[in-house]
Structure 1
Amino acid sequence: MTPFRDRAEAGRRLAERLGRYRESGAVVLALPQGGVPVGFVVAQALNLSLDIILVRKIATPGNPEVGIGAIVDGPDPHVFLDGAAILRSEITMEHVDSQRAKELALLAGRRSLYRGSLPEQALEGRTIILVDDGVETGNTARAVLNVLRQRKVGRRVLAVPVAPARALERLRSSAEEVVCLATPEPFRAVEDHYQNFAQTREEEVIDLLSRAGMAS
């Protein structure tokens, strides 16, 4: 049985599990693209503010699905490199540097598209509920959670509809709380656990952010 009809249903079910944060002043921080429809529903249901945090994967040559690192956006973007993955892939540092420059430029474009002139919300000392539509390896979520720690937020809550148990276990040390609705095994891909996993379009992200009060 497929656990979720679509991202909106996943968001409603996550909100039920997160009910104790209703009107608490926490910030729902969604990962574009697919995390935004989930996070929007969570924020609306719990009467919380919604924001986004942008992440770009640094991929191996010829295989964009395999990451060797990630860049987390912010006033001073943080670059995380997986040294073991780089060694396994026999990638040169020239490739890493080239990919890093390319992804930083793409981050700047996405930031302008989604946020416009709006500044990021003040996160220091606040409870942050990090939301995505699912987790596969957990590398992206771990990178963001580590950045949030450096930004001295209060409580870090990772909330996802579906993830493999092994990835969740690795993430528990990076967050004060992990909420996951389903940990099916065997686990191959997030999309296998949705009836409708259509790609989230940029226009949909912009519309949801506008409805949440993030229009510039």
Structure 2
Amino acid sequence: MMKQFRDRTEAGQQLAAQLTAYRDRPDVLVLALPRGGVPVAFEVACQLHAPLDVMIVRKLGVPGQEELAMGAIASGGVRILNKDVVGTLKIPEVVIDKVTAREQHELERREWLYRGNRPAYDVRGRTVVLVDDGIATGASMRAAVTVVKQLQAFHPIIAVPVAATTTCDELTAQGNEVICPLKKDMLYSVGSWYEHFEQTSDEEVRALLEQASHERPDACKNI
């Protein structure tokens, strides 16, 4: 049984192996959650022979405990709140709004940085594979799913290498298809299930997206 992934590249390869039913389908689009989800999604897109784009989502971290998500925002004005965290910690609306405003600024910065003038792919009527390097609370992924459903995607698929079992169950119960080769009852942190989990840089994200945009058959071999 796999205990850890070597890195995001290996994780993407393992994940792609569970998505072969979607290979060479013209309706499939792979959307990565930056930044860590992009190297994973690049491998998935290569193996599926599908286009790759980003779904910009920003976690709303609890002030002083930024790794704990009280929610997330995504392109299109979507905001998802983790009501359990907000309620338990009694986080006031003014604090949520302040964090939201800061993360909205970063979301817009990343959209321009990663895409520039290139328009986002139209997801309407498409099978959309949403990829991240892992899921803990699921707030960011829920925001991404909400966006693609609002944009009338035909069939959103959540695909991650590792996730908390309870979060996978919750996402499945909400009517989503979830593909996850490594489900853990005690996740602690996504990074603990990777041998190498260095932060993905903006430059790496841009390079992978640029490479994926060129329809070269050897694209996967050049990183």
Tell me the residue number matched to 1:109: 109
**How many Å separate the matches in 2 of 1:92 and 1:145?**
26
Asked whether the equivalents of residues 4 and 10 of structure 1 are also in contact (C-alpha less than 8 Å), the reply is yes
Unaligned runs of 5+ in 1: none
The percentage of aligned residue pairs carrying the same residue is: 40
CA offset at residue 175 of structure 1?
4.8
Asked whether the equivalents of residues 78 and 146 of structure 2 are also in contact (C-alpha less than 8 Å), the reply is no
RMSD: 1.6
Structure 1 runs, 4 residues or longer, greater than 4 Å off: none
Q: State which of 50, 60, 73 in structure 1 corresponds to 2:62.
A: 60
CA offset at residue 213 of structure 1?
1.1
TM-score of the pair, normalised by structure 2: 0.89
Asked whether the equivalents of residues 80 and 139 of structure 2 are also in contact (C-alpha less than 8 Å), the reply is no
CA offset at residue 173 of structure 1?
3.1
Alignment of 1:70 with 2:72, yes or no, is yes
- Write out per-residue CA displacement over residues 37-92 of structure 1, whole angstroms, 9 at most, x where no aligned residue: 0000110111100010111122222111122221111xx32122234432322222
Structure 2 matches for 1:189-204, cutoff 5 A? 189-204=189-204
Q: State which of 36, 46, 49 in structure 2 corresponds to 1:34.
A: 36
Tell me the residue number matched to 1:51: 53
Structure 2 matches for 1:179-190, cutoff 5 A? 179-190=179-190
**How many Å separate the matches in 2 of 1:56 and 1:162?**
19
Tell me the residue number matched to 2:147: 147
**How many Å separate the matches in 2 of 1:55 and 1:8?**
21
User: Matched residue of 1:17: which SS?
Assistant: coil
CA offset at residue 161 of structure 1?
0.7
- Write out per-residue CA displacement over residues 111-158 of structure 1, whole angstroms, 9 at most, x where no aligned residue: 111110111101011000011111111121122112222221011111
**How many Å separate the matches in 2 of 1:184 and 1:95?**
32
Pick closer, same or farther for the CA change 1:91–1:176 going to 2, 3 Å.
Answer: closer
Alignment of 1:13 with 2:14, yes or no, is yes
Instruction: Read off the aligned partner of 2:20 and give its amino acid letter.
Output: G
**How many Å separate the matches in 2 of 1:184 and 1:68?**
21
Instruction: Read off the aligned partner of 1:50 and give its amino acid letter.
Output: L
**How many Å separate the matches in 1 of 2:175 and 2:204?**
29
Tell me the residue number matched to 1:2: 3
Pick closer, same or farther for the CA change 1:65–1:194 going to 2, 3 Å.
Answer: same
**How many Å separate the matches in 2 of 1:24 and 1:175?**
22
